[in-house]
Amino acid sequence: MATQGTSEISSSSGWFEQAVSHRNAKIDVCKTLAIAAIVFSCVLTNVAQAAPPSTSLESETVVVETSGHVPGFTQRQLAVFLALKMHEETAAPWQFSAGQSGMVEAPNRVLWSFKTLRVEWKGGSHKGFPSPTQSVTHISAEVKLYLKNIYQMTMLTQPSVTGGSEDRVLSEMVHKVSHTLFVANQPDMPGR
């Protein structure tokens, strides 16, 4: 009878070892799939970033790129703001898209380069320190237009802005630049 109990224990421990082995195999498969998913997503991200601009971008899509600083904006916010304002100010068929840093140069692009000329602080302070909301920043904006990688024109403007998306002077500047580049001059796509 003692041998019968030992064989029952051996057979049940064999079952347990198989279950553990099967569970470990499932864990190994899950780890392999997780690693493959991570590697695959990294490869897709690198391919997407290295790929030339998609042909799905219409020939009338213009990428807005920025450099320099305008008060009240990060670099990304400024590109989005300019693209939205230019879209509002320009008639069809032109479309505008905010560029991203590290992106391959788009064939159709508007390059906005900003420089701070000087900052004037208005009267008023908080605990003896000037308040940023009480300042006017004199900036210089150089705007270059390229269509199908062919230089078209450059505009220079020097507005005095308080900054932020509610700045009337900044909005007016974008309106004038957009109107001059895309309405008054009515650029034709080179090679059409």
Mind listing the pLDDT tens digit for each residue in 150-170? Answer: 999 999 999 988 888 889 999
Give me the helices (H) in the chain, please.
2-50, 75-89, 168-178
**What DSSP state is assigned to residue 91?**
-
Q: Which CATH architecture has domain 61-184?
A: 3-Layer(aba) Sandwich (3.40)
- Which residue, among 54, 62, 95, 98, has the nearest Cα to 78 in the 3D structure? 98
Q: Which residues of 90-101 are buried (b: 16+ CB within 10 A; e: fewer)?
A: beeebbbbbbee
Tell me which residue of 175, 67, 173 sits closest to 115, measured CA to CA.
Answer: 67
pLDDT-based confidence at 49, cuts 50/70/90?
A: very low
**End-to-end Cα spacing for the chain:** 97
More confident residue, 26 or 152: 152
- The residue written with tokens 């780890």 in the block is 31
Give CA–CA dist 150/179, Å, rounded.
20
Whether 74 shows a pLDDT value over 80: the answer reads: yes
Which amino acid appears at position 30 of this protein? Answer: C
pLDDT of 12 reads 53
Determine the pLDDT at residue 123: 65
